[in-house]
Amino acid sequence: MSKVLFTATPFHGHVSPMLALAADLTRRGHEVLFYTGARFQEKVEATGARFVAYAPELDYDDRDLGASFPQRAGLPQLESMAFDLMHVFGDPAPAHDRRIQELLAEFPASVVFTEPTSLAVLATPLRAPRGERPLVVTLGIAPPSSESVDLPPFGPALPPATNEAMREQYAAMRGGMRQMMAEPQRHLEGVFEQMGVTLPDFFLNAMDRVPDHRFHLTVPAFEYPRSDAPEGFRFIGALPADSGTDYELPDWWDRLSDGRPVVVVTQGTLANRDLTQLVVPTVEGLAGLDVTVVAATVRADGPDVVREALGGTVPDNVILADYVPFERIFPLSSVLVTNAGYGGVQTALRHGLPLVVGGDTEEKPEVAARVAWSGTGVDLRTGRPEAAAVRKGVEEVLGGASYREKAEEIQAAYQHYDPLVAVAEFVEQHG
């Protein structure tokens, strides 16, 4: 049996995909060590893996980054991204690298699984050739951010080039992006020098290309084609979500089978502090429409917060819920309205469920752009849409069979991939 190390920055969306893989590997008899933030200890230990926490001075809670990084407050989107790269992900990397090397010395893993923002792990393949160290595999938990001759730079959420003029335009834009990111580039070069290695490329490229392999958690039909993808790039499909078998069906569940289309709206697990961004406009926009709306607020007080935002009156066709397992409700649904979190979008498409997406933070605009490009839904191109725009998007998806057909085509593509098997076979081959 093999020894496998997992490490991820302590963000819910970064750790969660790895939990399913860790649990499957331990079930198969492999030894797994998981290094991440302290708040994930219980979830990691539930997989059967050994848990090692970040040192307290390196740890933080992704639900309240402002508590650990007050300088981040109020920064515009681009400046916030640059701050995170330099200070949330970059500055702690030398300390994490030292700790990872200590762990590998007493737990000689054959494979290290990580995700793109765990910059400390990149020092391992930069420091020694294959055969003298563990293999490093990055899990693609979001669209690839590295440059390609076929694509615009990551961020503006533009489609792939379809002609030479677009390629030339995108090449100029990539140059502009490098100029805009000059300060983070210089900062991260200094961080890598502290680890005794050289950052070999633009940091967005290094995050994808320095690891030995990148296992991307989707299927080719949902990702922009790259003629220059790195050698170790491969698709492995989407991970299964929580089955929800322990979920006690609420009294309103029977309403989902009354013949009307079911529209689920969610802002995800973390981006739900302000439910007026997407949940409330969706509830308001779909009021009176011949659909059943399930607002999955993913917070205990969510129904009360939405009710208050609506002035105390909830439309008759709306159900307010805290938590609803996607695996239970998506088979009964017709449309998902979401802020374009990568995992939620993949889960919807695994069920052949078309989407209406509205996200404007982190990687969400790029995810939303891929929804539109793949024909599986409507991109509202904002994280705070008007109620009328949501209604128009939902009506378009419900009225156009092509969205459902495209979603079902991708659903069929998922049947050819099993990420748990792919990862297990890789570990067993290289253990």
DSSP secondary structure string for all residues of 45-100: HHTT-EEEEPPGGG---GGGHHHH-GGGTT--HHHHHHHIIIIIIITTHHHHHHHH
User: Nearest to residue 242, comparing CAs of 323, 302, 299?
Assistant: 323
CATH number of the domain at 393, please.
Answer: 3.40.50.2000
Q: Residue 420 is inside which H or E element, if any? A: helix 419-430
Per-residue pLDDT tens listing for the chain (431 residues): 899 999 999 999 999 999 999 999 999 999 999 999 999 999 999 999 999 999 999 999 998 888 999 999 888 878 888 999 999 999 999 999 999 999 999 999 999 999 999 999 999 999 999 999 999 999 999 999 999 999 999 989 999 999 999 999 999 999 999 999 999 999 999 999 999 999 999 999 999 999 999 999 999 999 999 999 988 999 999 998 777 778 889 999 999 999 999 999 999 876 677 898 999 999 999 999 999 999 999 888 999 999 999 999 999 999 999 989 999 999 999 999 999 999 999 999 999 999 999 988 888 999 999 999 999 999 999 999 999 999 999 999 999 889 999 999 999 999 999 999 999 999 999 97
Say how many domains are in the chain.
2
Say whether both 148 and 167 belong to one domain: yes
Say whether both 128 and 184 belong to one domain: yes
pTM: 0.93
Residue 246 lies in a domain: no
* Contact present, 117 and 12 (Cβ < 8 Å): no
Say whether both 112 and 143 belong to one domain: yes
Domain housing 261: 251-414
| Backbone angles phi and psi of 107, in degrees to 5 | -135, 80
